[in-house]
Structure 1
């Protein structure tokens, strides 16, 4: 497994990021196809886009405080 991927997922979990965001980020990072339309959420789509870009810049926006 890619260390960048592992570190990012660990960081999101430690920050308490929205589960939908994490799942989207993982799918985007791994270049999996996006979910079917009726199962998309704002958090998932945001995570998918960030994961595709391999970006951790928005993690804090999805952390539950």
Structure 2
């Protein structure tokens, strides 16, 4: 497994990022197809877009209180 991927997911989990964002980021990073439309959420889609770009700059926006 890619060390960047592992480190990014671990950092997101430790920061308390929303699960939906993390799942989207993972799917985007791994270039998996998106979920079916009725299961898409704003957090998932934001994570998917960031994952596709291998971007870890926005996940702090999705930290849960």
What TM-score, normalized by structure 1, do the two folds share? 0.98
Residue by residue, what CA displacement relative to the aligned partner does 1:29-48 show, whole Å, maximum 9, x if unpaired?
Answer: 00000000000000000000
Corresponding pairs, count: 65
Counterpart mapping for 1:16-31 below 5 A = 16-31=16-31
Deviation of 1:64 after TM superposition, in Å, equals 1.3
Q: Which runs of 4+ in 1 moved over 4 A?
A: none
The residue that corresponds to 2:61 in the other structure is 61
Relative to the length of structure 2, the TM-score reads 0.98
Name the CA distance, whole Å, in 1 between partners of 2:43 and 2:16. Answer: 13
In structure 2, what is the Cα distance between the partners aligned to 1:59 and 1:39? 20
Name the structure 2 match of 1:9: 9
Q: Which runs of 5 or more residues in structure 2 are unaligned?
A: none
RMSD, aligned α-carbons: 0.5
- Mark the runs of 5 or more structure 1 residues left unpaired by the alignment: none
Q: Report the equivalent of 2:34.
A: 34
